[in-house]
Amino acid sequence: MARVNSILLAAEREDAVHQSVNRALMLARYLDARLDILLCDLYRPFTAGVERPLPNVAEAHAFLAALRNSVSAPDVEITTDAAFEGTLHEHVAKKVRLERSSLVIKGVARAPVARDSQLNWQLIRSSPAPLLLTRGNPWQPRPRFAAVVDMRQDQSPALSAAVIDIATSVQHACGAKLDFLCLPGRTQSLTGLGAGPERLHVLGPDETLPQFVAERRYDLVALAVCEEHSGFGVERSLADKLLAHSFDLLLTPRRIRY
- The range of the structural domain enclosing residue 23 comes to 6-134
Boundary-marking domain end, from 91, 112, 134: 134
Residues 6+ apart with CB under 8 A from 113: none
Assign residue 228 the CATH number of its domain.
3.40.50.620
pLDDT digits (tens, 9 = 90+) for 129-178: 999 999 888 999 999 999 988 655 455 677 778 888 899 999 999 999 99
18 shares a domain with 95: yes
25 shares a domain with 116: yes
101 shares a domain with 188: no
pLDDT digits (tens, 9 = 90+) for 86-126: 888 899 999 999 999 999 999 887 665 666 677 777 888 88
Is 43 contained in some domain?
A: yes
Tell me which residue of 2, 75, 27, 76 sits closest to 174, measured CA to CA.
Answer: 27
Is 192 contained in some domain?
A: yes
Please check whether residue 111 is in contact with residue 120, taking contact to mean a CB–CB distance below 8 angstroms: no
91 shares a domain with 34: yes
Question: Based on the number of CB atoms within 10 Å of its own CB, is 16 exposed (0-12), middle (13-18) or buried (19 or more)?
Answer: middle
Q: Write down the pLDDT at residue 183.
A: 67
Structural domains of the chain, count: 2
Confidence at 37, pLDDT banded by 50, 70, 90: very high
Please check whether residue 102 is in contact with residue 7, taking contact to mean a CB–CB distance below 8 angstroms: yes
195 shares a domain with 85: no
